[in-house]
Structure 1
């Protein structure tokens, strides 16, 4: 009798699992998306309960946005990603609306996964407004006038990196070497750390954090988010040690030469808060710059004519230098074509696809209402590949950015616009140009795998690390 009863229970369970569970999920989805207070919400779907549309968004963010623009509206659509009800405002007009109303309708927002990784306090307890205000002081040290004195050191570190890790090799994995360089630069300028072992120990941890930033925040063993949390905790401890070392050095009267020392000196917060600020800065200064360097190599390798123009420009800069003389600020201003190449790379392979905001009060856009408390996602994907804004958008064409050509307003926004633009934009430009200058002076190159697959969704990278063959000049 017990056997029959158990068998019957199993049959009921299978019936529920295969027949009734889908119905249950559909019903819950209907409740999930129903909001009786607002009858004119943007078109779109919240997707599955809990998961929403996160998986589609993370895996193919560009297609996620473009498909929904075509299906629902070219101006705005609703979704649920990373556990948040969200409106995605699209197009150049949408960008203008977001960037010109930043102080009145929206406030900065980080999804749960990022808050958990970057902030040691409970994700629901920290004050992001306070944190953003505090961090505003640090970007002052990233402005052009402050970075002038760092150009020569950037050049020196890049030269040393090339001589040590590139010279003597016929083939290298470009992405791996770019990450090594950008982390060495970030550690030097943000933390004042030059110990190679300390830098190499940090690289694998930052890779795990990068993956976890945009993953589903399920914190149990085996998940990307769990690995990222462990890596973030280790980096946070390392940063706390750095801060303690800097305070001791400053107490001994040593000069202030790096950003963390400036932040300590200006009293931007407790040691924990400084470590949190530094964590986000390091992640941004490491992964995004490394990706940009890597994709510059990819696109230039595919276009010998572009390589020749970059080489000619950099040879002209080199010819104006005395033997052994390092690059300076004026040299960087002469590298206009090289930076136009990087800008076109940023259009085709954006290293930052977008950012998030929280809605402070109900507002209407394109005839639809977005409620207070919802989140907004701003993305370059709605404009960078749009033929309305860029002629032949699939074509790699650095001449788009010549002074004679007027780019459409708010269409090219790889670093944001105005007050909400990336504070590390100028630092990124200098690091990439120093890299390009030293690279083309020494080598020409070709890709070993011409059609190497690009993976990574929100933070793209070559599947095999961009294996390239080097030819010495």
Structure 2
């Protein structure tokens, strides 16, 4: 009797697991998880590096439809595509989907960045960042950005017969963001940070194998170096504010350091400032430089007319930008057709139904 009872207790969990697996297997999206840890990461990363990621995803959609399973960056993943997918991801409540990135992102960026924290921390950090980016704040940075553009043209464009636009546009974007977010002047410190930042980006999109020779490991090492540099800047800005040697709105770091609640406590911790400043740089660098405008006579006409109205060496103003209405519409239409963010990750907090398929918890 005891032997029978022991056997029964042993077999029941196995039976339940097998029945649950069979039930899941009929409803889990089509596709393959591939080799453990590797999955489809190599093909996906190759497509990213060769700028063919959209075609790679289109091939999946033709093969499996708009919902399929795969393994990316070491994690089982469900890929969903289309307007209904966008609505499902962006309008679902936080008890079903969490705003969580792949482990490689979290390890490199840290656990207190906007993409990792949940409400109410997400709301608090987001409001602090958005406060800096209001139009009334941005107006004072037009001249600063104009100065960076002039230096950039002098270095990378003037006298050149051929210019490969995207790489130098990314450098320009980095320079402008460094100026506005960090208050970095051009020089050794800025370019040391550029190297660390590029290695971090490469580390995001790498198979998360933490060995000394891997790109992921280099991304982790350079993340430590970059965050140390930003932390030193935060401390410098804090001292300057205390000595009345800086204006709160002169750059993002100074602004975030200066923010306090009604009780006089800092709105963000030092760790949150460091990680979210780096995240802001990532967001601007990856999206702004890839916005390609359709070059037409109408788009060229507006800036040419503004240039004619300016004296030699005179900086652009917010009023000048406001005149470029057609250019703005072209930019918005380009963003509508080709969103600058390649994709968005979420984590299923519970077994979730979508389009007749089951997305298992996790």
Same fold (TM over 0.5): yes
Measured after TM superposition, the shift of residue 324 of structure 1 is 4.3
**Equivalents in 2 of 1:349, 1:95: separation in Å?**
14
Shift of 1:316: 2.2
Superposed CA deviations along residues 35-72 of structure 1, whole A, max 9, x for unmatched, are 34524122222122221221222222323322222222
> Which whole-Å CA distance do the structure 1 matches of 2:164 and 2:194 have between them?
15
> Aligned to 1:239, what secondary structure does the other structure show?
helix
Between structures 1 and 2, the one with greater strand share = 1
After superposition, the Cα gap between the structure-2 partners of 1:127 and 1:180, relative to the gap in structure 1 and judged at 3 Å, is closer
**Shift in Å at residue 287 of structure 1?**
3.5
TM-score (norm. length: structure 2): 0.80
8 A Cα contact 1:182 1:289, kept in partner: yes
State the structure with bigger RCO (CA 8 A, min sep 6), 1 or 2.
1
Secondary structure of 2:290 counterpart: helix
Give the Cα separation in 1 of the matches to 2:327 and 2:302. Answer: 8
Cα distance change of structure 1 residues 99 and 193 upon mapping to structure 2, 3 Å threshold: same
Provide the residue aligned with 1:177 in structure 2.
168
Structure 1's 343 and 221: CA in aligned 2 closer, same or farther, altered over 3 A?
farther
Pair 1:362-2:355 in alignment: no
Unpaired stretches in structure 1, ≥5 consecutive residues? 1-30, 301-305, 374-473
Looking at structure 1, the residues matched to 150 and 172 of structure 2 have their Cα atoms a distance apart, in angstroms, of: 10
1:245 Cα deviation after fit: 0.7
Cα deviations by residue, 1:161-216 (Å, 9 ceiling, x for unpaired): 22344323334443443233222211111111214222122222222111111110
Provide the rounded CA distance (Å) in 2 between the counterparts of 1:322 and 1:162.
18
Show the counterpart of 1:90: 81
The Cα offsets for residues 375-406 of structure 1, whole Å up to 9 and x where unpaired, read as: xxxxxxxxxxxxxxxxxxxxxxxxxxxxxxxx
Deviations 1:280-334 (A, max 9, x none): 1112222432333xx55xx64xxxxx2x332212112334445544323333233
Q: Does 1:286 align with 2:279?
A: no
Q: Corresponding residue for 2:318? A: 329
User: TM-score scaled to structure 1, two decimals?
Assistant: 0.63
Structure 2 match to 1:70: 62
- Gap runs ≥5 in structure 2: 1-16, 48-52, 260-265
For residues 304 and 172 of structure 2, what CA distance do their matches in structure 1 show?
22
**1:118 corresponding residue in structure 2:** 109
Does structure 2 retain, via aligned residues, the 8 Å contact 1:363–1:371? yes
SS at match of 1:85: strand
Preserved CA contact (<8 Å) 2:99 2:116:
no
Cα RMSD over matched residues?
A: 2.8
Q: Does 1:258 align with 2:251?
A: yes
Cα pair distance change 1:248/1:66, threshold 3 Å: same
| 3-state SS in 1 of match to 2:209 | coil
Q: Secondary structure at the match of 1:185?
A: helix
CA spacing shift, 1:35–1:190, aligned 2, 3 Å? farther
